[in-house]
């Protein structure tokens, strides 16, 4: 479903992605871990072209999206993205946040869009907040609305960039639960996170990124319990020490 060939990205002189080649299957849940600055976000953002790769190719469902003639906006409609900082639209209500894209991009009628939004809100457990504005929500609620918003376009792939990193600890669980539900429904997911326990639970594969490369990858069991590379071991140790 997602194929990446020798993906490189530089910012000025800084080489952030250093030839990433990877394949992600339909229905697979992949977790990306790695030290800060290793290029995790950049990799994720290249997948929906929020960052334009410097070189290399990306194929989504067989189409080369890195081809300059590819319609970026149509691609993005099929890929939802969830951000660390939520990025809800403060001038729209919760309902407005969710219905905006289906109404403007799929020309969905207001009534249908609202029905869709309500069913998504019930999925994330927030029907009671439909008419509230983002400023009135807690962090965990914001992120759940952001997930509902991303789902409203009916994406085939969901990208998550540290969706729980900006949350108070007591709110992490409610967001992870929504994501676990999505995974169980078979959504193709690429997720950058520091939640190792969650990664173990839902991910089929874990990528360890370092220095702009996927240094090592495997099942959660392989990568967490039997890492091969010294850098992976060091990283996992550091993460465990923090806990």
Summarize as ranges the residues that interact with other proteins (CB under 8 A). Answer: 48, 50, 73-77, 79-81, 83, 85, 87-91, 100-101, 104-105, 133, 135-136, 146, 149-150, 153
Task: Decide: is 193 part of the binding site for Mg ion (CB under 5 A).
Answer: no
Work out how close the CB of 111 gets to ligand ATP at its nearest, in angstroms, rounded to a whole number. Answer: 40
Cβ closest to ligand ATP, residue 84 vs residue 219 = 84
> Which listed option, other proteins, ligand ATP, Mg ion, none, makes contact with residue 154 (CB within 5 to 8 Å by class)?
none
Among 29, 42, 97, 232, binds ligand ATP (CB under 6 A): 42
DSSP the chain: -EEEEEEEEEETTEEEEEEEEEEE-TT-EEEEE--TTSSHHHHHHHHTTSS--SEEEEEETTEETTSTTS-HHHHHHTEEEE-TT----TTS-HHHHHHHHHHHHS---HHHHHHHHHHHHHHTT-GGGTTS-GGGS-HHHHHHHHHHHHHTT--SEEEEESTTTTS-HHHHHHHHHHHHHHHHTT-EEEEE-S-HHHHHHH-SEEEEEETTEEEEEE-HIIIIIS--SHHHHHHHHHHHHH-
Work out how close the CB of 190 gets to ligand ATP at its nearest, in angstroms, rounded to a whole number. Answer: 13
Binding range to ligand ATP, per CB under 6 A, among 37-45, 65-73, 127-135, 150-158: 37-45
Cβ closest to Mg ion, residue 16 vs residue 101 = 16
Among 2, 4, 7, 16, binds ligand ATP (CB under 6 A): 16
Cβ closest to other proteins, residue 71 vs residue 115 = 71
Binding site for ligand ATP (CB under 6 A): 11, 14, 16, 34, 36-42
């Amino acid at each position: 479903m997602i194929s990446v060939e020798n993906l490189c990205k530089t910012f000025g002189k800084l080489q952030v992605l250093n030839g990433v080649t990877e394949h992600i299957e339909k229905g697979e849940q992949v977790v990306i871990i790695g030290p800060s600055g290793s290029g995790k976000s950049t990799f994720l953002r290249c997948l929906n072209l929020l960052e334009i790769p410097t070189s290399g190719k990306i194929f989504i469902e067989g189409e080369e999206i890195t081809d300059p003639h590819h319609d970026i906006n149509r691609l993005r409609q099929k890929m939802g993205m969830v951000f660390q900082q939520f990025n809800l639209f403060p001038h729209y209500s919760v309902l407005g946040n969710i219905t905006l894209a289906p109404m403007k991009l799929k020309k969905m009628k207001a009534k249908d869009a609202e029905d869709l939004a309500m069913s998504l809100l019930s999925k994330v457990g927030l029907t009671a907040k439909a008419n509230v504005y983002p400023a009135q929500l807690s962090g965990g609620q914001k992120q759940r609305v952001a997930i509902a918003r991303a789902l409203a376009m009916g994406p085939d792939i969901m990208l998550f960039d540290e969706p729980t990193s900006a949350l108070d600890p007591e709110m992490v669980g409610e967001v992870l639960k929504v994501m676990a539900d999505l995974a169980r429904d078979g959504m193709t997911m690429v997720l950058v996170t520091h939640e190792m326990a969650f990664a173990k639970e839902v991910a089929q594969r874990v990528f360890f990124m370092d220095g702009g490369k996927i240094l090592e990858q495997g099942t959660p069991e392989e990568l967490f319990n039997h890492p091969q590379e010294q850098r992976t071991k060091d990283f996992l140790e550091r993460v465990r020490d923090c806990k």
